[in-house]
Amino acid sequence: MEFLAVELLTSIFSLACTDGGRTACSLSLVCKHIREVARPIRFNVVALTGGAPHKLQAFFDDLERESNSFRAGTTSRVRHLFLHTDLSKARTQNSGGSSKDARQSEAMTPAQYSDLVTSILQAVSPHLETLVLLPYPYSPSMLEGVIFPCLRELALQTSDRHLDLGPTDSSPAYPSLRRLHLLSGGFNVDLWAHHSPSLTHLRISNFSDHVYLDGLMHLQDPEGPFPELEKIIIHPIPPPPPRWCHGAPLVRYRLMIPALWASQAPTRVPVYILPPNVEKREYTRYIQDHRQEWGDYVEGRRPGCWDVSEDYARGNVKSNIPPLYLAPWIKPAIIEE
């Protein structure tokens, strides 16, 4: 292998290092020659899960050390990042407990933890192309002031009510963004129209609030935002659990589904409304599923969350009465009308 051209090895390694960092780390242990060849693409694809403060700090320190040791123009770049953070880990550490994380690193306050996450995002932002950010809980300042000039695809778990991307009279934070997946149900049209003007695909998972219906209807206006928009996917929130299947939660849910369906009458942009999940996933499984989906997408094995059945196309049904696959969660009277 030492007789192969460095350019050829770099191309091979860049195709192999798509599993979140394991292969790149293994290559670094082969020999000095291979380690040096693999260094520019060592952080090409990175997955950070669990949210342990000492692991996030170790990654950031390693990334800074690698970047500072490279010659200008040859710095190691992060192009694909899966980042799951857990602010409660900082609270656990700071409380003086005897957890493994607390023993392995210095105490970190929640404010320091949030600043560290922002520092990581700032460090990787210049060249990042895909990002899955699953913070628990979300800190409003986490993305404030961070510009992602090359980001093409973003999956974000946060409520738009707590999202701060910077003022709408500033430069767009995501000028190249084409695909946006919001995992917490909300969509602030004005906010995203300014910061991601080139959007072509929009997916909203766990949609749950009538407040955002007017904004979704505005997307269908011929003179509305996102002139390049090609597809909208809406995945409603699951129905209330059995212990809440009465009173206000159930009434709001039964009103929300038909209102959502009626608001998305076939017009400019194709809309797909998926059936709500009946079974609720544990949070650990939720993270694992998104990690697997992101990995498959980066490696080119699957199209990610954007490939949906035409059975759920809103344009297939001209009536404002929801179809049968939504019937179990809708007032019977509405179906019978």
Would you give per-residue pLDDT tens digits along the chain (337 residues)?
A: 666 666 666 666 666 666 655 676 776 666 666 666 666 667 888 889 988 999 999 999 988 887 776 554 455 688 899 999 998 888 654 455 445 544 444 578 888 898 999 999 999 999 999 999 999 887 777 888 899 999 999 999 876 666 767 666 778 999 999 999 998 877 888 888 999 999 999 999 988 777 678 788 888 888 888 999 999 999 988 877 766 555 677 778 778 888 888 888 767 889 999 988 766 677 788 888 888 888 888 877 778 889 899 989 988 888 887 877 775 645 444 444 4
Model pTM? Answer: 0.82
List pLDDT tens digits, range 65-92.
877 765 544 556 888 999 999 988 886 5
| E strand residue ranges, 95-226 | 130-136, 153-156, 179-182, 201-207
Only one residue has tokens 């709408």, namely 168
Edge-to-edge strand list for the sheet holding 80-86: 45-48, 80-86, 130-136, 153-156, 179-182, 201-207, 231-236, 271-273
List pLDDT tens digits, range 117-172.
999 999 999 999 999 999 988 777 788 889 999 999 999 987 666 676 766 677 89
- At a CB cut-off of 8 Å and minimum separation 6, what does 267 contact? 220
Single out the residue of 36, 145, 133, 158 nearest to residue 82, CA to CA. Answer: 133
What phi-psi label fits residue 113: left (phi over 0), alpha (psi between -120 and 50 degrees) or beta?
Answer: alpha
pLDDT for 302: 78
In the three-class reduction of DSSP (H, G, I as helix; E, B as strand; rest coil), residue 170 is classed as: coil
